Amino acid sequence: MKKRLTALLVSAAVLLALLVVAVGFYQTTPEESTPPASAAPVQSPTPTPTPQPTPAVTVLRFSATGDNLIHNGIYNQALRRAQNAGKDGYDFSFCYDQVRDFYAGCDVNWLNQETLVNDELEPSTYPCFSTPGDLGRAAYDAGFRVFSLSNNHTYDKGAEGIAATRRFWASMPQDALTCGLYAGEADYETIPIQEKDGVRIAYLSYTEHTNGIRTPQGAEANVIYTSELEVMQRQLELARQQADLVIAGVHWGVEGSHTVTQAQRELAQKIADWGADVIIGTHPHVVQDAQWLTTADGRPAFVAYSLGNFLNAQSTADTMIGAVLCFEIQKTTQPDGSSKTEVLDPYFRPTVNHYGSNYSQIRVYWLEDYTDELAQSHGVRQNFPNFSRAYIESVLKSSIDNAFLKE
């Protein structure tokens, strides 16, 4: 009995111990906690792409105009016009009023100034010209800024005329640039360059002859003849190194002829090969054809063989017709500083030099504004009764590649 009691007590003690252990375990085991909700992933902002440098493109509108040939009828009318208005000097503004708006819309306007402009010598007409300085100022006011001075009349007034015209052009505003007269051989490597909106344009001018007049004794400047090939080549190569675009004016060809000579074509190719991008032909006083050339190094170059007349008082029907060369100059500059300059979309805008009976009221019109009524009233009909708009159009279409014609 005693043993049974002892066994029961031991069993109870064991049960009690187990119970205590179980309760303790239950109380000390931590509750399972719900894991915290994970935060939504934070997206890094997409980096803004770094802009890639793009080429800078500059476009200039360029025009070139033919022979500004100032006969006595023109300057005598300008004198009377000024006198009637109670002004001193000469009033040439009337001559350009019908065309000036176009030139105002261009960035660069080139002109072949066929006669010696100055404020010192008495005015004179064919065959040896001297033109009042007010003509140069009127041309400037009409929008012209580049004046080619190398032609067959450059030596008309000898050393005195050269000095007088150089003084005149030196007195003009700084943005009036001349080319074609050089102060001796030491000046040959001074290339006239115009910078416009970051585009550097070089200008050179040459003449085939000076009407048999040799370089005047004691002249402070001279022209370069088209026979001086080595000089021309050196100038063109220098210009190519210094400018984005090279423009060469050439006074050449047969006066009064619409036919381009083989000599003109051969010289044009040489001038292009040596560095010219555009070749502007003058002298025949009538229009001639134009074309694209490919240079020895593969560049395109454009040549207009003759722009014909601009303002003049000649007496034949086809000398009343001119063609203003127009094109765009586009310079593309890459981010690394390299650049390419191109001549784009050359075309001709025709002009008509008009006067009434006895060479009265001489002025220039655009063909697009020139009516049949005006043509019927033209003083040239006295000797050429077939002069009309239809005649003008036929001369242009038979002389110039129609791809380049535009009214």
- What sign for the dihedral angle of Cα 119, 125, 129, 134? positive
pLDDT tens digits, one per residue of 308-367: 999 999 999 999 999 999 999 999 999 999 999 999 999 999 999 999 999 999 999 999
Which residues lie closer than 8 Å to 239 by C-beta, 6 or more apart? 191, 193, 202, 204, 246, 275
Beta strands in 47-103 (DSSP E): 56-68
Rounded distance between C-alpha atoms, residue 235 and residue 13, angstroms: 126
Rounded distance between C-alpha atoms, residue 225 and residue 158, angstroms: 17
Kindly state the tokens that stand for 366. 């655009």
Report pTM: 0.88
> How high is the pLDDT of residue 35?
52
Rounded distance between C-alpha atoms, residue 154 and residue 206, angstroms: 11
What residues are paired with 302 via a beta bridge? 278, 292
- What sign for the dihedral angle of Cα 268, 270, 271, 273? positive
Element (H, E) at 325: strand 321-333
Name the packing angle between helices 229-242 and 262-274 (round to 10°). Answer: 40
> How high is the pLDDT of residue 297?
97
Do residues 198 and 248 touch, judged by C-beta distance below 8 A?
Answer: no
Residues of the chain with pLDDT under 50: 1-33
> How high is the pLDDT of residue 10?
42
Q: Is 162 helix (H, G, I), strand (E, B) or coil?
A: helix
Q: Which option is the CATH number for 58-404: 3.90.180.10, 3.40.50.10710, 3.60.21.10, 3.40.250.10?
A: 3.60.21.10
The string of DSSP codes covering 334-379 is -TTS-EEEEEEEEEEEEEEEE--GGG-S-EEEEGGG--HHHHHT-G
What b/e sequence results for 237-271 when a residue is b if at least 16 CB atoms lie within 10 Å of its CB, and e otherwise?
Answer: ebbbeebbbbbbbbbbbbeeebebeeebeebbbbb
Q: Is 268 helix (H, G, I), strand (E, B) or coil?
A: helix
> How high is the pLDDT of residue 48?
78
